[in-house]
Amino acid sequence: MLVRITNEPRDYAWGSDSAISDYLGLAATGRPQAELWLGAHPACPARVDGRGLDAVLTEAGLEQPRILLKVLAASRPLSLQAHPDADQAAAGFAREDAEGVPRDSPLRTYRDPYAKPELVVAVSRFEALSGFRPVERSIHVLDELAGLDRRVAPFAERVRSSLAGAVGWMLAAGDDARSAVRAITDAAGRLPAVLAAERDTVERLAAVAPDDPAIAIALLLHRVSLAPGDGLFLPAGNLHAYLEGLAIELMGPSDNVVRGGLTAKHVDREELLRILDIRAIDEPRIGRRELPGALAWRPDAPFELRHVEGAHRVVDGGQAVVLARRAVRVEVDGERLDLAPGEGAFASSARGMVLTGDDAWVAIADPSGDDRRIAA
């Protein structure tokens, strides 16, 4: 099956007014444009001739997509969050069902029983926090702040003793923790120029969520500035927050977000501590490889994202979602679609797919990962 799909951007308050419409050459809606979803997730399924893609596939007896492609445009920071692995998601979903928490309740943490690994590739300059950095780098920053305001010292000492303990202490938001957050906010503007990224992080977060414990925890994470084409992978347990920018996201088709702050939505600090991967990582970015007519980003997840820059053939793979920024032709299994800018396509199989265009994104579920099987 090869079908044309479209959708309307979701109007979350943190979205940009025009970044998505400008990028895809579409008319602005007059509302924030935060995320354009191209998949079959029931919360916002793509449309096929006015019908949901999920319903179309069910009627045809085909499997629901195991991938969800998004265009994301953030004009201010999103929540501090992490996502569960498959076992944690299944257990959490069953637990909340057993507790009688309605599946559409704003107090629910697990919306489905699935994992949500995420890949982000920047379209514009994209700012994010992602993963714990080596603790000595965080201690250096906290010591600088403690030298400016001694109220930061209790947090710095806890980080020295136990990173997990320090995060738990800060999330509990006792009097000393709240005092440390206020001190960090007050002192950040006096940090030396070499710590400009940390100063900017604190100022951004304090502007949207004053006194939030996430402001302090952010200083334990990598501050990542992605140039267009740079990729960032967020596996299960990775603590992260997007700050600003336009990007393409590819993820598992889940809505499981365990939040720890920077939001008015449900915050589940206890569950966040349970699923958090506290291990330090040296570099959260991932590389890309060059293919004939395309660039490809392949994280440690059952999907791959490619940016088509010419004629490109996909030799193997499962389901695929295509997004055209400029006109692109998609051919597979004897079927053909000519997509206009901003339109998408869903293919039940990527095997043998040929894309002809100079600016399109294709997401592939279960790719072979064998470069020798990819031809121009």
pLDDT exceeds 50 at position 365: yes
pLDDT at 28: 87
Q: Give pLDDT tens digits for 322-345.
A: 999 999 999 999 999 999 999 999
Read off the pLDDT band of 29 (50, 70, 90): confident
Angle at 303 (CA atoms; ends 364, 49), nearest 5 degrees: 40
Q: Give pLDDT tens digits for 104-159.
A: 999 999 999 999 999 999 999 999 999 999 999 999 999 999 999 999 999 999 99
- Give me the chain's average pLDDT, please: 95
Q: Give pLDDT tens digits for 81-109.
A: 999 999 999 999 999 999 999 999 999 99
Read off the pLDDT band of 369 (50, 70, 90): low
pLDDT exceeds 70 at position 376: no
Strands 258-261 and 80-82: antiparallel
Token representation of residue 87 = 């076992």
pLDDT exceeds 50 at position 241: yes
65, 203, 206, 258, 293 from 89: Cα distances, Å:
18, 33, 31, 10, 37
CA dihedral 358, 330, 44, 306 (to 10 degrees): -50
Cα separation, 142 vs 220, in Å, equals 9
Strands 2-5 and 258-261: unpaired
pLDDT exceeds 80 at position 371: no
Query: What 3-state class would DSSP assign to 211?
Result: coil
| Contact (Cβ atoms closer than 8 angstroms) between residue 82 and residue 272 | yes
Q: Give pLDDT tens digits for 243-276.
A: 999 999 999 999 999 999 999 999 999 999 999 9
Cα separation, 296 vs 282, in Å, equals 22
- Within a 10 A sphere around the Cβ of 372, how many other Cβ atoms? 7
pTM of the model: 0.94
Q: Give pLDDT tens digits for 175-188.
A: 999 999 999 999 99
Through-space distance between the first and last CA atoms of the chain, rounded to whole angstroms: 23
Cα separation, 261 vs 213, in Å, equals 7
Angle at 27 (CA atoms; ends 3, 57), nearest 5 degrees: 20
Token representation of residue 73 = 């445009």
Percent of the chain with pLDDT over 90: 96
Cα separation, 56 vs 317, in Å, equals 21
Read off the pLDDT band of 374 (50, 70, 90): very low
CA dihedral 362, 368, 369, 375 (to 10 degrees): -70
Read off the pLDDT band of 27 (50, 70, 90): confident
Cα separation, 88 vs 375, in Å, equals 39
Place of tokens 């336009």: 246
